[in-house]
Chain A
Amino acid sequence: MAKEVIKLVGFWVSPFVFRVEWALKLKGVEFEYIEEDIFNKTNRLLELNPVHKKVPVFVHDQKVIAESFVILEYIDETWKQNPLLPQDPYQRAMARFWARFVEEKLMEVAWTSIWSEGEQKERAEKETLEALEKIEEQLNGKKYFGGDDKIGYLDIAIGWISYWLPIFGEVGSIEILDPKKFPGISAWKTRFLDDPVIKDSLPPRDKSLEYFHKRSQELNSRLAHRENKV
């Protein structure tokens, strides 16, 4: 019998990749990790994900799946232990809705608020706070976003807020997740990062900080360069 192939192609600091890693580890599924340098993409990546050319890419035997949320649902449906999505269709819809919300309305603006300037920065900061307020409201005293007493799909989808968002903040010398403004999210953050699976599955903080500092500087200098071109 051929050995089951389970591979995750990723980039060491990508929050999208970690979602998949967390899901697999929470289910106790063993996998092979393959590092890809996204600034120097291999033919392997371009063949595995010709449409988007991005990580993560998940390989299960002959099957190749891209897009982290799509991968999460595949994993949940294939390895049924420790289910990530709730059973109830309405709760599932809520989890999917909020995962998309955080993806569309928080991630990009939060990062933009760090490296941009002037009006763009102000707008991004405002949108970041607005999105966080809605998320805080949604959490509404729950221990986990999924509502159960354990990490679920939505916690995994939003999980990057616990670690990457504070790193962004440090790069920008601001505290994005003010515990006074966001007590619920702050409590969840501690709980999430304390989880034995999660705490062992995070990129190294120093390297991550350095990486995002550099990226922020690069993006900012491109901005200045553009603005100088009158």
Chain B
Amino acid sequence: MEDNKVVLLDWWASAFAMRVKIALAEKGIKYESKEQNLFNKSQELLEANPIHKKIPVLIHDGKSICESLVILQYIDEVWHDKSPLLPSDPYRRSQARFWADYIDKKLYSTGRRVWTGKGEDQEVAKKELIELLKTMEGELGDKHFFGGDTIGFLDVTLVPFTSWFYTYETWGNFSIEAECPKLIEWAKRCLEKESVANSLPHPHKIYEYSFELKKKLGIE
């Protein structure tokens, strides 16, 4: 049982960081969270993640692990006794990894185009976002969670983005719930779990912050 010092280089609105927080909470791992300023990166962050200079970074026993999905698997392997994130069957694991990879390839960038975009670009992005989310709905099917009866790797990978839905919807002037009601139901089920509720900020907070974020990113 590895319970040596665990530190998370964090940023409150990052869906990727939320993934790690949920995983740590699910496994009951105590850690120190260090909120980072992404517009004025600390020496600690630059040293912990010299390659990408991004959060989240998990520092365990002085060793840095970067990239949220890599971190999730690390956490799952080190603290393997409690609340496994990945199933034990290799095929089911491959499916969870496949869909997590799909989300990573598509969701963040598409969502970004929705809330920062304009006109035709934004319309195209909205359409793509809905398609993507409907695909995930299809994958969920009748299950309670992607992981089955309890939340798993894929739930942890996807649910943080739901805190950004209100931001996408408001800037994009559309309703995700109208198009993907089952996914919204799933998100609500996830939020009933303490690990998720404590790791996701209120969607309105993210929306409020998005104005400032646009300014910082130099977007009109």
B is a partner of A? yes
Interface contact A97-B65, CB-CB below 8 Å: yes
B51 close to chain A: CB less than 8 A? yes
> Is A16 among interface residues, defined by CB-CB distance under 8 A?
no
Is the pair A66, B66 in contact by a Cβ cutoff of 8 Å? no
Contacts A70-B98, A96-B73; is A90 near B91 (CB within 8 Å)?
no
Nearest chain A residue, comparing its CB with the CB of B94: A74
Q: Is B1 an interface residue (CB 8 A)?
A: no
Do A70 and B65 touch across chains, with their CB atoms under 8 A apart?
Answer: no
**Minimum CB distance partner of B100 in chain A:** A70
Chain A residues with Cβ under 8 A from B94's Cβ?
Answer: 63, 65, 70-71, 73-74
Residues of B with C-beta under 8 A to A63: 91, 94
A226–B183 alpha-carbon span in the complex (Å): 40
- State how many angstroms separate the Cβ of B103 from the closest Cβ of chain A: 11
Whether A73 contacts B74 by the Cβ 8 Å rule is no
Q: Tell whether B44 is near chain A: CB-to-CB under 8 Å.
A: no
How long is the Cα–Cα vector from A51 to B95 in the complex, in angstroms?
12
* Contact for B101 among A67, A74, A89, A92, CB less than 8 A: A67
The 8 Å CB contact of A77, one of B60, B66, B93, B101, is B93
Tell me the count of chain A residues lying within 8 A, CB to CB, of chain B: 22
Which A62-108 residues sit within 8 Å CB-CB of chain B?
Answer: 63, 65-67, 69-71, 73-74, 77-78, 89-90, 92-93, 96-97, 100-101
Q: Interface code B86-129, partner A: CB below 8 Å = 1, 0 otherwise?
A: 00001101110110011000000000000000000000000000
Residues of A within 8 A of B135 (CB): 51
Residue B70 CB within 8 A of the other chain:
yes
Cβ of A44 within 8 Å of any chain B Cβ, yes or no, is no
A162 vs chain B, min Cβ distance (A): 22
* B106 nearest CB across to chain A (Å): 10
From known contacts A51-B135, A67-B98, A97-B70, infer whether A89 and B91 are also in contact, taking CB-CB under 8 Å: no
Across the interface, which residues of A come within 8 angstroms of B102, CB to CB? Answer: 51
The B contact surface, by secondary structure, is: helix
Question: How extensive is the interface on chain B, given as a class?
Answer: 20 to 34
Most buried by A among B60, B63, B78, B90: B90
B74→A90 contact, CB < 8 A: yes
A70, B101: Cβ atoms under 8 Å?
yes
Could you tell me which residues of chain B, from 40 to 70, have a CB within 8 Å of some CB in chain A?
51, 60, 63, 65-67, 70
Q: Which residues of B contact A51 (CB under 8 A)?
A: 102, 135
In the bound complex, CA of A65 to CA of B92 (Å)? 10
Q: In this complex, what residue of B is CB-closest to A75?
A: B90
Report the bound CA distance from A70 to B96 in whole Å.
9
- For the complex, what is the distance from the CA of A143 to the CA of B186, rounded to whole Å? 48
User: In whole angstroms, how far apart are the Cα atoms of A100 and B67 in the complex?
Assistant: 9
The answer to whether A101 and B90 touch across the interface, beta carbons within 8 angstroms, is no
CB proximity of A3 to chain B, nearest CB, Å: 18
A118 to B33, CA, bound (A): 45
Taking CB atoms, residues of chain A closer than 8 Å to B97 are 67, 69-70, 73
| Closest-CB distance, A6 to chain B (whole angstroms) | 13
Complex CA gap A71/B98 in Å reads: 9
**A134 on interface, CB distance cutoff 8 Å:** yes
B158 to chain A, nearest CB (A): 15
Residue of B nearest to A71 (CB): B94
In Å, the complex CA distance between A152 and B19 comes to: 28
Flag whether B177 is at the interface (Cβ < 8 A).
no
A92 & B98 in contact (Cβ 8 Å cutoff)? no
| A92 CA to B74 CA, complexed, in Å | 8
Verify A66–B51 contact, CB threshold 8 A: no
Q: Evaluate contact between B93 and A74: CB separation under 8 angstroms.
A: yes
**Known A-B contacts A70-B94, A74-B91; A96 and B63 likewise in contact (beta carbons under 8 Å):** no
Q: 11 additional contacts, CB 8 Å, given A65-B98, A89-B78?
A: A65-B94, A67-B98, A69-B97, A69-B101, A73-B93, A77-B93, A89-B77, A90-B65, A92-B74, A97-B65, A101-B51
Chain A interfacial positions (CB closer than 8 Å to B) = 51, 60, 63, 65-67, 69-71, 73-74, 77-78, 89-90, 92-93, 96-97, 100-101, 134
**A/B interface sample: 9 pairs, CB < 8 A:** A60-B91, A74-B91, A77-B93, A89-B74, A90-B60, A90-B63, A92-B74, A93-B70, A93-B74
